[in-house]
Chains A and B, each alone.
Chain A
Amino acid sequence: MTADKLIIIAGVCIFAAVMCRVYDNGAKEYGVLIKIAAAVVISTAVIGCLVPVIERIEDMYSRISTDETYLTIMLKGLGICCLTQLASDICRDSGEETLAVQAEMAGKTALLILALPLFEKTAGLALELIY
């Protein structure tokens, strides 16, 4: 994520925002489509830049402890949050509040299912401490 990539992304955002207003009188649905196109292109680029960061985190994490489950659960949660946020923001932006709430509900359920083993482990630890 160098500075010139950031400049490109800023330019793309401004261009897409302006183009959305161009379509307001002619054909509104193309405003939504160009927002989706810009969001998809930019998030692909940004997530592509995340790969080295994740590798470094995994490297640091492997030095600390051998147990990989917590890190994989965190990374999966991060991926679920990214997807849910993208979907619900696009739906809310195009005026569909219900679809946005449904997307967020699905994301929260996925996160809950993902994090359930962690709750069990912490509950077990708490019980051990008490008894």
Chain B
Amino acid sequence: MDIELIFKVAGVGIIVAVLNILLKKAERDEQALMTTLAGLVVVLMLMISEIGNLFETVRETFGI
């Protein structure tokens, strides 16, 4: 039961949310979009292995 994944996703999300608001205030909307995309890529890279792990567990448990 690894809860670190959720905390990592939460942390990246908070950082990107704060950066978004800052960059929007400084009228740099395109850079705000860039940071959102960068954060999205980081989070998805983190989660891909967990999702694959889940599908593997389901496959072994139910014999699919």
Shortest Cβ-Cβ A-B pairs, 5 listed: A26-B17, A79-B62, A30-B13, A45-B1, A37-B9
A44 to B9, CA, bound (A): 17
Give the residue of A30, A40, A82 whose beta carbon is less than 8 angstroms from that of B12.
Answer: A30
Chain A CB within 8 A of B31 CB: no
Are B62 and A30 closer than 8 Å at their CB atoms? no
Give the residue of B10, B20, B54, B58 whose beta carbon is less than 8 angstroms from that of A19.
Answer: B10
Question: Taking beta carbons and an 8 Å cutoff, which residues of B are in contact with A?
Answer: 1-3, 5-6, 9-10, 12-14, 16-18, 20-21, 36, 39-40, 43-44, 47, 50-51, 53-55, 57-59, 61-64
Given known A-B contacts A37-B50, A75-B63, A83-B58, A30 and B9 have beta carbons under 8 A apart: yes
Are B20 and A27 closer than 8 Å at their CB atoms? yes
Question: Taking beta carbons and an 8 Å cutoff, which residues of A are in contact with B?
Answer: 5, 8, 12, 15-16, 19, 22-23, 25-27, 29-31, 33-34, 36-38, 40-41, 43-45, 47-48, 50-51, 54, 72, 75-76, 78-80, 82-83
Are A33 and B3 closer than 8 Å at their CB atoms? no
Are B64 and A19 closer than 8 Å at their CB atoms? no
B26 to chain A, nearest CB (A): 15
A51 surroundings in chain B (CB, below 8 A): 61
A14 to B20, CA, bound (A): 25
